[in-house]
Amino acid sequence: MALALQTFPTVEDAGAALKAAGTRYLGGGTLVVRAANEGDVSISGFIRSTEPALSIIRISGGEVRIGASVTMAAIARHPDLAPLAHAARAVGGPAIRNMATVGGNLFAPTPYGDFTVALLALDATVTTDYGELPIETFLAKRESNHAIVTAVGFTLPKEGGFRFLKQSRVKPKGVAVLSIATVLEQAQDGTVTSARIALGCMADRPIRARAAEKALIGRKLTADGIAPALAVAHDGTSPPTDPIASAWYRNEVLPVHLGRLLLA
């Protein structure tokens, strides 16, 4: 069956066209075109928009806004987004990163979605053609989303405040066993004053490790200080068993990798 591709100069027009049954928004196409090629008959056509704002990275006064069509490669090479380069480079190999968009990554099912893990730790907002949502709210309801994501926004973390780790079995571009991102703030004496920890591959979508976050407050990033957080790291997780790793294995290695990231 032939698949139609319709391109619109504005998000508004693309959004109107997306109301037709069987249409899907096209980001970089690394997932959705593959799904169509592999026989997903629910897809009858693709819609995309070339509105310039979708492809722009804007940074002003520490506030970052990344258009939904911006690719992982563009993020990885942006000089002012150096703290996030590692997370953007965690997505596939160079060919995938040249296509894979921020917008598409928000919808990528586990074991994908590495950059979204970073965005969740950064407490990003997701803007659609209907308005702005906290990323957690967006992720919880992403299956029912029919809007076009236009941008993500977040505050640049303080220097050294953002950490990211992806564990995979095939280096350097394998799919994740798990990924972890943290945004921590510490007092002058090193005591943790605020913590956000996001996990990838520990559920069907990126989630926060809330119990571990809570257990870190008031502690220092030493082996003893982080021990209570590691003990509760898998509270609320429900990792999948897939060809990459079993659920049991993911739960076993989570505290090991979280510990390494916190002590790094």
Ligand X SMILES: Cc1cc2nc3c(=O)[nH]c(=O)nc-3n(C[C@H](O)[C@H](O)[C@H](O)COP(=O)(O)OP(=O)(O)OC[C@H]3O[C@@H](n4cnc5c(N)ncnc54)[C@H](O)[C@@H]3O)c2cc1C
Per CB under 6 A, 112 contacts ligand X: yes
Per CB under 6 A, 26 contacts ligand X: yes
**What is the distance between the alpha carbons of residues 116 and 93, in angstroms, rounded to a whole number?**
17
Interacting residue with ligand X among 31, 53, 59, 85 (CB under 6 A):
31
E runs forming strands in the chain: 4-8, 23-25, 45-49, 57-60, 63-67, 125-128, 131-134, 149-155, 162-168, 176-186, 192-200, 207-208
Per CB under 6 A, 156 contacts ligand X: no
Q: Which tokens hold the place of 223? A: 């082996």
Mark 237-256 with x for binding to ligand X (rule: CB under 6 A) and - for no binding: --------------------
Per CB under 6 A, 258 contacts ligand X: no
Measuring CA to CA, how many Å separate 55 from each of 20, 32, 117, 192?
Answer: 25, 19, 21, 36
How many residues in the shown chain lie near ligand X by CB under 6 A? 29
- C-beta of 205: minimal distance to ligand X in Å? 12
Per CB under 6 A, 127 contacts ligand X: no
| CB of 48 or CB of 163, closer to ligand X | 48
Per CB under 6 A, 45 contacts ligand X: no
Interacting residue with ligand X among 36, 75, 135, 148 (CB under 6 A):
148
- Residue holding tokens 């070339």? 50
Interacting residue with ligand X among 15, 83, 113, 206 (CB under 6 A):
113
Peptide bond into 172 cis (omega under 30): yes
Q: Which tokens hold the place of 180? A: 């972890």
Q: Which tokens hold the place of 23? A: 């249409």
| CB of 18 or CB of 183, closer to ligand X | 18
Task: Check if the beta carbon of residue 57 is closer than 8 Å to that of residue 67.
Answer: yes
- C-beta of 125: minimal distance to ligand X in Å? 14
| CB of 165 or CB of 229, closer to ligand X | 165
Q: Which residue is nearest to ligand X (CB)?
A: 104
Per CB under 6 A, 108 contacts ligand X: yes
Q: Which residues contact 182 (CB under 8 A, 6 or more apart)?
A: 121, 162, 163, 164, 195, 196, 197, 198, 261, 262
Say whether 83 sits in a helix, a strand or coil: helix
> Among residue numbers 59 through 78, which ones bind ligand X (CB under 6 A)?
68
Q: Which tokens hold the place of 114? A: 């590495």
Query: 154-171: buried (b, 16+ CB within 10 Å) or exposed (e) per residue?
Result: bebbeeebbbbbbbbeee
- C-beta of 170: minimal distance to ligand X in Å? 10
- C-beta of 14: minimal distance to ligand X in Å? 9
Per CB under 6 A, 221 contacts ligand X: no
- C-beta of 172: minimal distance to ligand X in Å? 10
Binding site for ligand X (CB under 6 A): 24-32, 34, 68, 91-92, 96, 99-101, 103-105, 107-108, 112-115, 148-149, 175
